[in-house]
Each structure stands twice: as C-alpha cells, then as structure tokens.
Structure 1
Amino acid sequence: MRNLSMSDHRNLVSDRSPFLSFVLILITVFIGFVVVGPLLGFAVGSQIYDGNLLNDLQTGSDNPGFFLAGMVVQGIAAFVGLVVFPVMHIRFLEHKSLSPFFPDQPKLGQILLAVVFLGVAFLVAISPISEWNSVMHFPESMKAFETWAREKEDMAAKITESLTHFSSLSDVMLALLVIAVLPGVGEELVFRGMIQRELWRSSQNIHLAIWTSAFIFSAIHIQFFGFFPRLLLGALFGYVYYWSDNLWVPIFAHFVNNAMGVVGIYMSQQKLTELNMEDNTAAPWPLVLVGVVATAGLSYFIWNHYRQNPPNVKDFSGSSVLPHQDPLV
C-alpha cells in the first residue's frame, strides 16, 4: 500500500487539519443538501403542483403532476446540495482547483466501458446479499428500531414508485438526469472526491478511508434494508477512484448503476422485459458465481491498466507532481 505523507498534495482537498476539513465538508453538505437545496426545490416545485406537495413528498401520490414536481424538488436539492455547495466549498472556502479531480488519461474510454460491465456483474454478484438484507430481522432488543426502519423503507418505496411511474420517454430522460446523472456527479464528488480523500489524509490507510466513506455513503440514505449492498457499492466506487485518481471513473460507475435501475423499470412497465428491477430476489447461484468471477476479472483489468499507466496528476494548487506510481491495494 502506498504511504501517504502530509506533503502529498494529490490527496489534499484542504490545507486545514483533516478533522477540521472533514467537519467543514459535513457542514457544507448539510446546509446545501438538507436545508437550502430542499427549500429551494420545494419553492419551485410548489409553483407547478396543484396539491399538498409537502404531504405528498412524504407519502407519494398518484396525482399526474406529482412526478414533475417531485423530480424538480429532488433535482434541485441534489444539484444545489451535492454539486453547487461542494464546488463552492472547494473553490471559495478552500481556494483549490477542481482540475486535479479530472486528469487527462490515456484509454479512458476503455476503462469506462469496463465499468459498464463491472456494474452489471457486481449487481449480480451481490444479489444474495441484497436479498438477505431486504428481509433481515433485528434482535428483540432492537425491535423498535426495526419497526422504525421498516416504516422508513416502506415510505421510501412509495415515493420511489410515484417517481418512477413513467408516462412518456421524456419522463425517463428527466428521471435519468435526476436519479442517475446528478447523484453520480454530486455523490461521487462529495463521498469519494472529498470525504474519502480527507479520511485517507487523516488515517493514512486507504482501505479504512474507502470503507468509512462507503459506510457514511450508505448510512446517509437512511434505508437500512438496503444498507449492505449500498455499502459494498460505495466501496467499489472508492476502489476504482483510488486506482484511477480520476473522479470520472466512479461518477460513470455510479451513473451506470442508477441508470440501469431507471431503464429497467421503464422496460418492465412497457412489457419489454420480465425482469423486475425492484425485486431483491437473488440471482441463481450459477449466475452469481459468474458475476463474482466477472467482477474480479474486470476489477483486475482496471487495476492493472493503472498499474501499467500510472495517472499523472496535479496537486490542488494546479502544480505538477510525481506520477501516481503504485496503485496496489
């Protein structure tokens, strides 16, 4: 594993102490994604919705106008809270450049194509974990928590159903923007680009940084009956970012994962497939084994590509630094 020194600016989002930087990142995301973004989204959504938007956002609705209003609220919240505020944090609070997140790299198209197949294989490989997590039960001492968590899960499912009831192809395109593009960009910028980097700088242990960031990523969704597959997905995004030093790679992986869900739901609604993307039933074990082998092989391909083509990155002041020499994990 690489030894991260405090002078290695490739891994700095801030010149402050890692702890203070981490706290400031959380404050920035909280203000943007929990306060300002939702309020702004609600203000705009209310202007185009004929109904009780606040209530329907909590319970879901079959009102024909709810889809657009809900997408507006969710889209503005994600864009403001996970893109605008984090970018402002980096540029104006920390006075850093965004360019080191997205270095030029050879054969990036090949890697992104591999990421598509990796995303599919990984979902198949972890499908038994998804099924187990979706029906898991807590000890009797945590019965109250299980009841609360199940109520939150059912509520989220109702809202998701309302926001994925597509009446036209334009609805699908809007859903791809709000559900796949914006979270892909915003969540990867925050959890991998900012939080994972600062945890790495603090602990000097990349594995601890990746898994802690993935844990926070999964927990913040407050959907505990999908916690473990989301944790594993976050770790996958963390490792491909670590190997590549290019935020486009986990962004694209995140986009592919979410887009498959949106497109799969639309195809199911149009009777183009019998596959139910909302069904957590595990794939047959032979297919799971193929998924595991394919995930390992594609991960090795991506890792080996960057081992042979070390990313040439710049520090966060824009100055050139030594190439990323050893992507071993």
Structure 2
Amino acid sequence: MVKQPVNQPSPGYQFFIFSILSVGIIVLFNLIGLGVCIAVYGLGFVEQLSRMDLSNPQMPQALYTLQLISTTLPIFLAPFIYARFILKQPAEYLKPTFRFNPLLLVIAFFIMMSSTALIELLANINQKMVLPHWLSGLENWMKRSEEQAQLITKAILKMDTVWDMLKNLFLVGLLTAIVEELMFRGVLQTIMQKLTKNTHAAVWITAALFSAFHMEFYGFLPRLLLGALFGYFAAWSGSIWPAIWGHFLNNGTAVLVTYLFQQKKIKINPDDSHTFTAGGYVFSTIIIIILLLVYKNIASGKKQAANINGEELG
C-alpha cells in the first residue's frame, strides 16, 4: 500500500512553486546561453539574431547551442529538481517506471501515424483564425512571432547530410521529447490531476499549457491535440515513456520527412497543409478514438493485474 505524504503542499501551491522555479531556471539559462554564444560566436551573433539575419553560416550551429542551453537543459532541470529535491517524490511526478505493457508502445505508434490527417485539419482551422479589429495589434504581433519561429525552425532543420538528420533526430526528436514530457506529462499533469481530481480535465488543461508554452499561436490547436494524446498515454499507462515515445514519433517523423524532401527523395512537402481529403479527416478521427480505447483497456488490464499481485503479496 502506497503511503501518501503527510505534509505535501496543496496542488495550487505546487503549481505556483513549480511555475516560479521553471521561469527562474529558464531565464537563468537563457542568459547563460546568450553569454556562451557571444563568447563563442561573437557579439555580432546577437545583433544578427535580433534582425533574424540567418545568412551567417555559423548561425545554425549557434542556434543549436542556444537551443540546448537556453531551452532543453532548463526544461529538464525544472521538473527534475522539483520532483527530486523539493517534493522528493520523483516516482510520482516523473513517472519513470517501465512497468507497463510493451504493446502500448505499438498502439501509440499507430495512434501517432493515424493522427497526421486530424492534425492537418486542426492546423488549417487554426490558420484561418481572425481576431476582432480591436485586437489587430495583438494579431500582428502573433503573426510576426510565428514567422520568426518558422525562420528559426527552418534554419535548424536545414540538413545537407545524413549526420545533420541524425543530429536533429537526437536533439529535436529525442531530447526535446524527453524534457518536455517530464515537465508537462510528468510534473504538471500530476499537479493538475491532484487539483481537478479528474483525468480528462488534467490531460486537457496540461495540453493547453503545453501548446501555449510553445508561443506558436497559429499552431495552438494541433499542438493541443498532440498534448492530449501524450497526456492519455501517460495517464493510462502510469509511465512517462509511452508519452515520450509518441512525442518522439511526432518530432522524429517531421525531421525525417523534411530531410527526405530536401534531398528530393520524396515529393511530399512537409509544409503542405492540404494533403488529405475530408474523408481522410473523418477516418483519422475514428481510428484515433478506437485505438485510444484499445490503449486504455490494455493499460487498465495491466494495472488490475498489478493491484491483484500487490494484494496477494501483502
């Protein structure tokens, strides 16, 4: 029988503490990352980056360095420090256990592959979003931010060799998946579960925070769906690894398709937003729902067996 901590802070206070910790660590490592880039690439790097001048041949490498230090590392440290040293409950808040049915990884694979059409539909809906006239200033800022994010992404995903592709699979695919899942499906979703006492509410609230965190407003809806899928993977399995696997599949597929398109190995443009038909959108939705139900049933069976074994041992 698992003992509940006696002096655990309230969920609302946990969210406040984790938010302050995360912001502080991210700000600190942004400054460190900027300092490292200035020391290595020169002060002109900052000026070029502020103008979004990505013509410097050293810029992609500088962006990699900045990404690792100012984003990847702090997003890992915040949940790790919080779960390990503040609450001292890494098992509950990071969910690193491998005690889940491996078949869940197979089902998660097919869910992610089936989600492509629905993600495209949500992206198309999102792109047509128009704010009221009195919010035109906000809308213009959102569009500029989106354009800048796309330019940086294109610079990072410019791949001339297989090594470039493998490097992006590791950084953009695997590392990003691990650290973001530890933060969102690990710590934040656990806090939201305690706060709402409802799995669906916890999953979707965390998914909304996950999507908003990326500051890409015209990609909010598709990223919201992805966050929800990752959330159910973690919530129903009790482990962070199916969510990391799903996240890696999404990011890694984007990297691989982009590389193959750049090398003219395939004709599918990853930036094309009209690949599927209406029938494809409906089919995608139905398959995802069915596979999620299968995933939940298999995960529930594993948990029931574990509970029975635990009772017999007790």
**Structure 2: distance between partners of 1:24 and 1:190:** 13
Three-state SS of the structure 2 residue aligned to 1:232 is: helix
CA-to-partner distance for each residue in 1:146-186, whole Å, 9 max, x for gaps? 11111111111111111111122222222222212222111
What amino acid does structure 2 have at the position aligned with 1:101? K
Q: Deviations over 1:5-51 (max 9, x none)?
A: xx984xx8x81111111111111211222x12222222333344357
Name the residue aligned to 1:229: 222
Q: CA deviation at 1:56?
A: 3.8
List alignment gaps of at least 5 residues for structure 2: none
Distance change (3 Å), C-alpha of 1:296 and 1:62 = same
Q: Is the 8 A contact 2:95 2:240 kept in 1?
A: yes
Provide closer, same or farther for how the CA distance between residues 149 and 235 of structure 1 changes in structure 2, counting only shifts above 3 A: same
Q: Any unmatched runs of 5+ in structure 1?
A: 1-6, 315-319, 324-329
Report the TM-score when normalising by structure 2.
0.89
Per the TM alignment, residue 322 of structure 1 is displaced from its structure 2 partner at its CA by: 7.2
CA distance in 1, matches of 2:105, 2:112: 10
What is the CA-CA distance between 1:221 and the residue it aligns to?
1.2
- In structure 2, do the counterparts of structure 1 residues 277 and 91 end up closer, same or farther at CA, with 3 Å as the change threshold? same
Q: Which residue pairs with 1:53 in the alignment?
A: 45
2:36 paired residue number: 44
What's the TM-score, normalizing by structure 1?
0.85
* RMSD of Structure 2 on Structure 1 (CA): 2.5
Determine what percentage of the aligned residue pairs are the same residue.
26
Between the aligned partners of 1:50 and 1:313, the Cα distance in structure 2 is: 57
**Higher relative helix content:** 2
Of 96, 112, 118, the residue aligned with 1:102 is: 96
Equivalent pairs counted in the alignment come to 307
Q: Within 5 A, what are the aligned runs for 1:296-315?
A: 296-310=289-303
Q: Distance in 1 between matches of 2:298 and 2:202?
A: 23
SS for the counterpart of 1:256 is helix
Conserved 8 A contact 2:33-2:70: yes
Superposition deviation, residue 57 in structure 1 = 3.6
Q: Is the 8 A contact 2:84 2:90 kept in 1?
A: yes
Opposite residue 243 of structure 1, the aligned amino acid is W
Q: Does 1:238 align with 2:252?
A: no
1:122-141 pair list within 5 angstroms: 122-141=115-134
2:101/2:298 contact within 8 Å kept: no
1:251-266 paired onto structure 2 within 5 Å: 251-266=244-259
Contact 2:157 2:258 in 1 (8 A): yes
User: Quick check: 1:60–1:159 contact (8 Å CA) kept in 2?
Assistant: no
* Preserved contact between residue 75 and residue 182 of structure 1 (Cα < 8 Å): no
Q: Using the alignment, how far apart are the partners of 2:301 and 2:32 within structure 1?
A: 46
